[in-house]
Structure 1
Amino acid sequence: MDSPLSARSIACAAALSAVLGTGSVKAADMPMAAQPPVFTQVDQNLWIVTITGNVQATPRYPGSGDYTGIGYPSASIRPAGTPARFSAPDDGISFSLYDGPNFRIGPTARYVPGRYYGDDRRHLFGLRDARFAIEPGVFAEFYPVEWLRARAELRHGTIGHHGFVGSIGLDVIQPVGAFRVSIGPRFNFGDESFARRYFGVLPVEAFVNGRLTAFRPDSFTTVGALGAVTYRFNEQWAATGYVGYNRIVGSSADSPLLKRGFGTPNQFTFGAKVDYSFTMPALF
């Protein structure tokens, strides 16, 4: 038989347990103070870098009917957490100084293959070499709606030519599962200096060549289109295939370099590129 002290101790312990249990429930029901947001390293201190390897078959020089293969790298960078910008395969190598939701602008540059006597000794005999050109300039992009991009470039040649050239294009962009399809028209133009370098024939050149007549174009114009299909394997890897067509029209289309079978006004481009993306700490 338990003693009164033991029974009293048991009763006190039971009462204390009930009180503590009730207190615990009430504490759990009390509202907690809101925690301040935590900004992780990914939000502030990481960038996504995309390295691209490009290969393409392109006319050996402007107006050529022969093709050559070229390969070149390019790169882009953006803050982690922001979507990748659409880039058409025929865009110049560009860097955005201002990048808003619907508009961006910045410097750009393009490479133009040169025309050399060794490329076609039979047809180019007596003609001056037109060296390769680098064309630095500026670009601007505008998205009137999410699925439509308008882009314009204005550039000035160095080394091979010293004229002003430019391009205007539209791209309809449509995602289809892991694929992204884009297609749109293209318009390219160049001034007299560019046209004379690649499509003009001096009187002395015509005399030495013997099959050409002297010709002095006043402008360069092409119209065409470009289509591309991109497949994204995962967050790191993506591959793109594309084909473009431009037809030389206007003054340069009358050049004897095109009319006499030395070249063609129909200019095709076939290419592919592979993108690899990775993260790196921000440098500033």
Structure 2
Amino acid sequence: MKIMAHAWTLALTLLVGGLGSRTAQAQDGDHITLGVGVAAVPEFEGSKGYRVLPIPLLDVRAGQFFASLGDGIGVHIVDTPTLKLGGSVTYVRGYRRRDVPEGIDSLSDAAGARLFTSLRLGGAIATVGATRVIGGGTRGTIADARLSYPVQTAQRVTIIPTLATSWADDKHMRRYFGVTPSEAAASGLAAYRPSSGFKDVSAIVTANYRLAGGLNIAGSAGVTRLFDKAADSPFVERRWQPAGFVGIAYSF
């Protein structure tokens, strides 16, 4: 499954990445991967509370068109074995009012217009991208970079370590982590107006096991660390956030 690039969704889709990796390696042409999984993830970036969520798994490729949980729905403008360049519409998650302290407004989900490029060098895959949030409550621009190195340790087993980081402009940082004067008065927290900067870094390890035919099962575990401009938000409760995922999918 390809990987999208936004805070909470970055961590989640890095976790589910293993189920699509076998498909991408085994058949770089047209394919469909469908499945289901369950993930344990923070309620919002910096939350000490967790949610256990059912996750539908989807990875479709038809010519230049693709649809996946990771990169959204879009097209590859350049598509070679070593270089991919594309654009898509993706999902950007906000947070519910019940998940943040009383007095902090909810942040509605949004869509994002994303551009990305991916380069394969030897066994490593490096990807950089940028997403402009359109609509919803988050707004702003988020950029991301990640490096993965899939390793086939046995005939049916692939291990995929991944390192990733993301940067956000001041509009996104203020919408997501900021506390306005009115929210400060309602919540009792200090007002906070962060500027742009690097937001987080994540380390993820995924194990993918290929069963009979096109059936795959994968499990992932990882941790995300918020950098100071995000972690200094008055309602952030935890700088380090682990997450986990397990799922099963069929590729054809």
Same fold (TM over 0.5): yes
**Aligned pair 1:151/2:127, yes or no?**
yes
Inter-partner Cα distance in structure 1 for 2:43 and 2:81? 38
Other-structure match for 1:171: 148
Indicate the SS of the match to 2:148.
strand
Q: Which of 74, 78, 94 in structure 2 is aligned with 1:114?
A: 94
Partner SS for 2:184: helix
- Count of residues paired in the alignment: 215
The runs of 5 or more residues in structure 2 that have no matched partner are 1-28
Listed one character per residue, the Cα deviations across residues 211-256 of structure 1 (whole Å, up to 9, x for unaligned) are x111100125101211100001133101111112111103222111
> Does the C-alpha gap of structure 1 residues 250 and 232 become closer, same or farther in structure 2, counting only changes over 3 Å?
same
Structure 1 window deviating more from structure 2 (127-136 vs 159-168): it is 127-136
3-state secondary structure, aligned to 1:257: coil
Structure 2 partner of 1:274: 248
What aligned pairs does 1:238-249 form with structure 2 within 5 A after superposition?
Answer: 238-249=216-227
1:95 deviates by 4.6
Partner-residue secondary structure (3-state), 2:98: helix
Distance 1:92 1:273, change over 3 A: farther
1:7-46 aligned at under 5 Å gives the runs: none
Aligned 8 A contact 2:33 2:57 in 1: no
| Mapping 1:181-220, distance limit 5 Å | 181-210=159-188, 212-219=189-196
CA deviation after TM superposition for structure 1 residue 50, in Å: 2.0
- After TM superposition, give the deviation of residue 47 of structure 1 in Å: 4.8
Offset from partner CA, 1:83-119 (integer Å, 9 cap, x none)? xxxxxx9843365513211111212454343323223
Structure 1 runs of 4+ with >6 Å offset = none
Three-state SS of the structure 2 residue aligned to 1:160 is coil
The question of 1:128 aligning with 2:105 is answered yes
Task: Report the Cα offset of residue 165 of structure 1.
Answer: 0.5
Kindly indicate whether the alpha-carbon contact (under 8 Å) linking 1:219 and 1:250 is maintained by their aligned counterparts in 2: no
The amino acid across from 1:160 in the alignment is G
Looking at secondary structure, tell me which structure has more strand per residue.
2
In the other structure, the counterpart of 1:92 is: 71
- Of all paired residues, the percent bearing the same amino acid is 24
Aligned counterpart for 1:264 among listed residues 235, 238, 245: 238
Task: Give yes or no for the alignment of 1:137 onto 2:114.
Answer: yes
Secondary structure in structure 2 of the residue aligned to 1:269:
strand
* Distance of 2:217 and 2:171 partners within structure 1: 37
Are 2:113 and 2:132, in contact at CA under 8 Å, matched by a contact in 1?
A: yes
Change (3 A) 1:235 1:153: farther
> Deviation of residue 155 (structure 1)?
0.6
- TM-score where L is the length of structure 2: 0.77
Larger relative contact order (Cα-Cα within 8 Å, sequence gap ≥ 6): 2
Higher alpha-carbon Rg: 1
Q: Secondary structure, in 3 states, of the residue corresponding to 1:162?
A: coil
Gaps of 5+ in 1: 1-45, 80-88, 279-284
